[in-house]
Amino acid sequence: MTKREMGVVTTLVFVSFLAASVLAADKVVVGFYGESLCPDCIAFCTGPLRKAFDEVPSIFTLHYVPWGNAKIIDGKFECQHGDMECTINAVEACALHYQPNMTAYWPFLYCMYSHGERQDPSIAQQCATQFDMDWGKISTCYQGDMGHQLELMYYNETASLNPPHQYTPWATINGKHDTEAEGDRLTSQICRAYKGEDKPRACRF
């Protein structure tokens, strides 16, 4: 990695961390460290995570990190489920870059994951168009240097997890790994972590 790349990555990581810290003061921050074509990530996104957005959207925000089990080998990104996964990870990273508001980004992400292992750039274009995202910018980004830089940022963030991630999806609640949040107890774990008084009905258990 060049000095310029390191500088860009460091800046992006700091900005991402600062934004997450501000959000954490008001809402529970759910970290989802995943990869686009992973069957378990697809099940998590279209199951427990969708349920959380349906039932308790007002008390949490999602911090999505599209890298997962990918690696950098001889300077090239190599993804667990093939080259298309690397492409879609970059598409999702670029879409998030241009639409950092998670309330607005979530429908796009769900649209992508709802297509399962059939995700490709044509599906991404359909999802982006459906939710009024600028596909032109996203397309230029994921095929160019910006997409590469964003994925380097997510590589570094994933590599910095403590404890180190061992699988995907890897979920955190307010920055701490939480195995119970990786399945059907996600909503209840969000509720337990929320410190506000005005809890949604789904939290009244």
User: Is 158 part of any domain?
Assistant: yes
Q: Which pLDDT band, with edges at 50, 70 and 90, does 26 fall under?
A: confident
pLDDT digits (tens, 9 = 90+) for 114-135: 999 999 999 999 999 999 999 9
User: Is 196 part of any domain?
Assistant: no
User: Is 203 part of any domain?
Assistant: no
User: Is 157 part of any domain?
Assistant: yes
Q: What is residue 177's three-state secondary structure?
A: strand
User: Is 170 part of any domain?
Assistant: yes
* DSSP 8-state assignment for residue 164: P
Between CA 76 and CA 176 the distance in angstroms is 30
Total number of domains constituting the chain: 1
Between CA 55 and CA 66 the distance in angstroms is 24
pLDDT digits (tens, 9 = 90+) for 64-116: 999 999 999 999 999 999 999 999 999 999 999 999 999 999 999 999 999 99
For tokens 């697809």, the residue is: 42
Domain coverage including residue 175: 3-188
User: Is 205 part of any domain?
Assistant: no
Residue 89: what are its φ and ψ, rounded to 5°? -55, -45
What is the helix (H) or strand (E) element at residue 21, kind and residue range? Answer: helix 3-24
User: Residue 198: is its pLDDT beyond 90?
Assistant: no
pLDDT digits (tens, 9 = 90+) for 1-22: 454 554 544 445 444 444 444 4
Mean pLDDT in residue range 150-156: 97
User: Is 194 part of any domain?
Assistant: no
pLDDT averaged over every residue in the chain: 91
User: Residue 146: is its pLDDT beyond 80?
Assistant: yes
Count of beta carbons in the 10 Å neighbourhood of residue 132? 10
Q: What is residue 63's three-state secondary structure?
A: strand
User: Is 202 part of any domain?
Assistant: no
Residue 195: what are its φ and ψ, rounded to 5°? -100, -5
What is the helix (H) or strand (E) element at residue 32, kind and residue range? Answer: strand 28-34
CATH number of the domain encompassing residue 22 = 3.40.30.10
